[in-house]
Amino acid sequence: MIKIGIIGQGFIGKMHLATLRQSKLATVTAVADREPSNLEGKVVAGNIDVSGDISLEGVARYEEGDALLRDPNVEAVLIALPTYMHKEYILKAAEKGKHILCEKPLTLTSAEGREVLEALNGYDRVFMSAQCIRFWPVYVEARNYIRSGVYGKLLSAQFTRQSCKPTWSWQNWLLDGAKSGGALLDLHIHDVDYVNYLFGMPDQVEAIGCIVPREDVSQVNAYYRYANGPVVAVDGGWMHPADFPFRMGFRMEFEQATLEFDSRIDANLHVYPAGGGHLTPDLLPGDGYSREHEYFLRSIMEGNKAEEASPESALASVALVERERAAIRTVATA
Ligand SMILES: NC(=O)c1ccc[n+]([C@@H]2O[C@H](COP(=O)([O-])OP(=O)(O)OC[C@H]3O[C@@H](n4cnc5c(N)ncnc54)[C@H](O)[C@@H]3O)[C@@H](O)[C@H]2O)c1
């Protein structure tokens, strides 16, 4: 069992705690949060549901991430802090020789990401970016069709991710574009990262978006072209009222099938082969969080690099978001 500590017990930190408490590969030995009320195992609001309150019996609790990093009973650390703190805490965790799983996005800017990668060059512990969509069963299934070519080439793909406005974060950091990077870097990056992970950097990027003062880009429609790959459209945003239900999904047109996933309808992948019919293949068990944890923990146990979500590839996704932002600003100011 790997002894893991979680820094940040806000919305996603609680999700990680609830999920890791079910893991057969890890034991949560410590948690840290600046808000004492977040150290009671109570669920914190967000745009997706986290199951009921979680017992913290036997878990060391700290009111500061640095104190957790000094705890010798922590071998691996999960950083679930606001994005503008990622760089600082990745570097601090590395100084203490911990295995590191850091929430997405890797860092607030690609310049910060490059600094981190330079500082951790040759680091002999596992360092992974928590780009959970790469591990989400329905997205893994679609990836398998793309890679196997079972339905021919992928010609076109559309991705969507829409949320109500995130008014729940600590000190409202999410709605401060200078701290979160706005919806572009916080929400939309999930799909940007998935596309970048599958196909790499697009040859051409176009984007239009809605910029809200102080909040940065809050809605985006981006279009990617690959010389030898699909045309891709990705939309994302968080300008909706509080009761707007979270939605993620995609549609993919292959030479010999169309695939569809819409989280508002169900958790299935719907496959419509060209020859007729409608299939809903069995998906891997668990969700993106439990599967990314398992991958991280197995990488530690087996002494492997976490290649499926390397910091290098996560950095490329931050850079791709920055290309979109530049395109949006060019249009917005033209
Ligand atoms: N993978 C996903 O699906 C997903 C979903 C939501 C958020 N995230 C990412 O997770 C990160 C955190 O987001 P969130 O929504 O949980 O934010 P949040 O505001 O709900 O939680 C952040 C927590 O960090 C705590 N904190 C601040 N400074 C601290 C310090 N020095 N030591 C200890 N605790 C400290 C705050 O008290 C707060 O509880 C962000 O990078 C975000 O992009 C990922």
Written as one letter, the residue type at 256 is: Q
Looking at every residue in the chain, the average pLDDT score rounds to 95
Of all helices (H) and strands (E), which one includes residue 288?
helix 288-302
DSSP assigned state of 292: H
Concatenated DSSP letters of 123-146? --S-EEEE-GGGG-HHHHHHHHHH
Q: Is the CB of 166 under 6 A from ligand 1?
A: no
What is the predicted pLDDT for the residue at 41? 79
What pLDDT, in 10s, does the model give residues 73-87?
999 999 999 999 999
pLDDT exceeds cutoff 60 at 334? no
Tell me how many degrees the CA angle 79-83-88 measures, rounded to the nearest 5.
65
What pLDDT, in 10s, does the model give residues 90-100?
999 999 999 99
Lowest mean pLDDT of 94-98, 277-281, 299-303, 330-334, name the range: 330-334
What pLDDT, in 10s, does the model give residues 142-183?
999 999 999 999 999 999 999 999 999 999 999 999 999 999
Helices 189-199 and 311-333 cross at an angle (nearest 10°) of 120
Q: Is the CB of 131 under 6 A from ligand 1?
A: no
Give the position, in ligand 1's atom list, of the atom nearest the Cα of 38.
39
Nearest alpha carbon, ligand 1 atom 24: 8
CA dist., res. 49 & res. 52, Å (int): 9
- Tell me if the domain spanning 134-287+318-333 has CATH number 3.20.20.60: no
Give the position, in ligand 1's atom list, of the atom nearest the Cα of 130.
1
**Residue spans in the chain of domains classed CATH 3.30.360.10:** 134-287+318-333
Task: Report the DSSP beta bridge partners of residue 62.
Answer: 32
Cα-to-chain-centroid distance, residue 292 = 10
Q: Is the CB of 9 under 6 A from ligand 1?
A: yes
Nearest alpha carbon, ligand 1 atom 41: 83
Give the position, in ligand 1's atom list, of the atom nearest the Cα of 85.
28
pLDDT exceeds cutoff 90 at 43? no
CA dist., res. 122 & res. 247, Å (int): 39
pLDDT exceeds cutoff 90 at 333? no
CA dist., res. 62 & res. 254, Å (int): 50
**Residue spans in the chain of domains classed CATH 3.40.50.720:** 2-131+290-308
What pLDDT, in 10s, does the model give residues 230-266?
999 999 999 999 999 999 999 999 999 999 999 999 9
pLDDT exceeds cutoff 90 at 284? yes
Place of tokens 């890797």: 106
Residues 6+ positions from 297 with CB-CB distance below 8 Å = 2, 4, 23, 25, 26, 76
Give the position, in ligand 1's atom list, of the atom nearest the Cα of 48.
5
CA dist., res. 255 & res. 158, Å (int): 15
Test site for ligand 1: of 15, 33, 179, most ligand atoms within 8 A of the Cβ: 33
CA distances, 67 to each of 61, 80, 96 (Å): 9, 15, 11
Task: Report the DSSP beta bridge partners of residue 257.
Answer: 273
Select 2-131+290-308's CATH number: 3.40.50.300, 1.10.10.10, 3.40.50.410, 3.40.50.720: 3.40.50.720
pLDDT exceeds cutoff 80 at 331? no
Give the position, in ligand 1's atom list, of the atom nearest the Cα of 13.
16
Q: Is the CB of 44 under 6 A from ligand 1?
A: yes
Task: Report the DSSP beta bridge partners of residue 78.
Answer: 6, 101
Among 18, 3, 1, residue whose Cα is nearest residue 77: 3
What is the predicted pLDDT for the residue at 55? 82
Q: Is the CB of 93 under 6 A from ligand 1?
A: no
What is the predicted pLDDT for the residue at 146? 97
